[in-house]
């Protein structure tokens, strides 16, 4: 008895117009997947979609817009199917300082996109996946969520919240057939990192990162730091006493303050 070739997955992906999202879209399209791509910038998203092999759907939507995300999800399910994989990738990073009153809107936007954006992305798919008894929800967190980084309080805290949210969701859906995976990238060469004025060890090219991410998504683990070298760094960071960590982190470079 022979086993047939494995069917290419159906994938729904946010933050698909650039960076990690674009690299993941290109990786999955090359594997024959059918994609539903979401991003804020309509023109850029259209160009990415048109450049991919195969036929795919794209939706210009902000992950802060609950109604727009639900409409995109419902349209994709109606026209294609319930996805095999949903990847909540949309995210933002900007330097922030708590003592600067004008940084409060940036704090709010970072949390809204990086944390609530995951909830809005996954919400329309949970019950359809449960009804089918299968599916994978993938949240892109960050190694920056392991411990707080100076000058990046909004980003670090939002990614720490994302890690905890994904853990809660994973336990909630245990036994339903729906898997929840937490992916914490280290430094990836994307527009998000290109303005960082400090060393970024073990940096990966976006295409290389996408291949590694896809292997993790397809595998048995529920949590991963990629690349593995940053996983070791993350474990050491967790173990450091506060006094030691504070002394080291205070000397690290800081992301420039900005607006979103």
Asked if residues 113 and 90 have their Cβ atoms less than 8 Å apart, the reply is yes
Looking at residue 251, the DSSP 8-state letter turns out to be T
Residues 6 or more apart in contact with residue 10 via CB below 8 angstroms: 33, 34, 35, 36, 80, 81, 82, 83, 84, 85
Per the annotation, the verdict on 155 as an active-site residue is yes
Asked if residues 36 and 80 have their Cβ atoms less than 8 Å apart, the reply is yes
CA distance 18 to 57: 16
Active site residue: 155, 165, 187, 245, which one? 155
CA distance 233 to 92: 23
Catalytic residues: 155
């Amino acid at each position: 008895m022979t086993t047939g070739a494995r069917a290419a997955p159906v994938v729904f992906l946010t933050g698909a117009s650039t960076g990690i999202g674009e690299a993941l879209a290109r990786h999955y399209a090359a594997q024959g997947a059918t994609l539903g791509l979401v991003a804020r910038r309509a023109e850029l998203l259209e160009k990415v979609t048109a450049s991919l092999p195969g036929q795919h759907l794209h939706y210009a939507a902000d992950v802060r817009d609950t109604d727009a995300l639900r409409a995109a999800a419902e349209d994709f399910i109606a026209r294609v199917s319930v996805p095999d994989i949903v990847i909540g990738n949309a995210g933002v990073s900007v330097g922030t300082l708590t003592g600067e009153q004008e940084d409060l809107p940036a704090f709010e936007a970072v949390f809204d996109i990086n944390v609530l954006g995951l909830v809005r992305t996954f919400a329309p798919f949970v019950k359809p996946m449960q009804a089918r008894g299968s599916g994978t929800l993938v949240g892109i967190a960050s190694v920056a969520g392991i411990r707080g980084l100076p000058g990046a309080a909004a980003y670090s805290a939002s990614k720490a919240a994302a890690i905890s949210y994904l853990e809660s969701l994973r336990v909630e859906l245990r036994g339903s057939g729906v898997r929840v995976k937490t992916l914490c990238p280290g430094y990836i060469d994307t527009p998000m990192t290109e303005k960082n004025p400090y060393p970024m060890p073990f940096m990966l090219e976006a295409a290389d990162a996408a291949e590694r991410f896809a292997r993790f998504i397809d595998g048995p683990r529920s949590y991963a730091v990629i690349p593995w070298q940053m996983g070791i760094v993350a474990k050491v960071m967790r173990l450091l006493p506060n006094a030691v960590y504070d002394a080291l982190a205070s000397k690290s470079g800081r992301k420039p303050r900005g607006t979103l």
